[in-house]
Amino acid sequence: MDQNRFMTKIGAWIHDPSNNWFKGQSNRAALYTLYCEAPDTCDLLRLESSCLNCGALSECKFGRKIGTEGPTKSSKSFYQTLQKWREDNEKYIGRLKSLTTYNRILRPTDISIFHTHS
């Protein structure tokens, strides 16, 4: 059963290895897609346009980040794959801001990252 069918897609980004500045990073393209169980009740998403799953170190129990590995830059399908991913996720790419130190610190009086379910 597909666990994402009850979640809403809230964001996506593409890792393009042709833009790597550092050696040793993956030389494969990757698509990362973010899903959320209740985006309407998440203050971090609504007020800050961000998600705990945007970072590599934190995780939200109400959401999911799914990575799809793609071809290497030397592959024939590299540019076609990137173009297809961009077209398929056009309204989700760039939608969320990355987490900053400011919004990583839990401020219970300002933002609640705990979803409320009715």
Going through 28-62 in order, the beta strands assigned E by DSSP cover: 28-36
pLDDT value, residue 54: 79
Q: Provide the pLDDT confidence category of residue 108 given band limits of 50, 70 and 90.
A: very low
List, for residues 54-84, the tens digit of each pLDDT value. 776 677 888 999 999 999 988 999 999 999 9
Residue 35: CB atoms within 10 A of its CB come to 22
User: Is the Cβ–Cβ distance between 42 and 15 less than 8 Å?
Assistant: no
pTM beyond cutoff 0.85: no
pLDDT value, residue 27: 83
Question: Per DSSP, what are the bridge partners of residue 11?
Answer: 34
List, for residues 5-61, the tens digit of each pLDDT value. 689 999 999 988 887 776 655 688 999 999 999 899 988 888 888 888 877 667 788
CA 98-104-108 angle, 5° bins: 130
pLDDT value, residue 98: 79
Angstrom distance (rounded) from CA 20 to CA 27: 8
- Tokens 């209740």 found at: 38
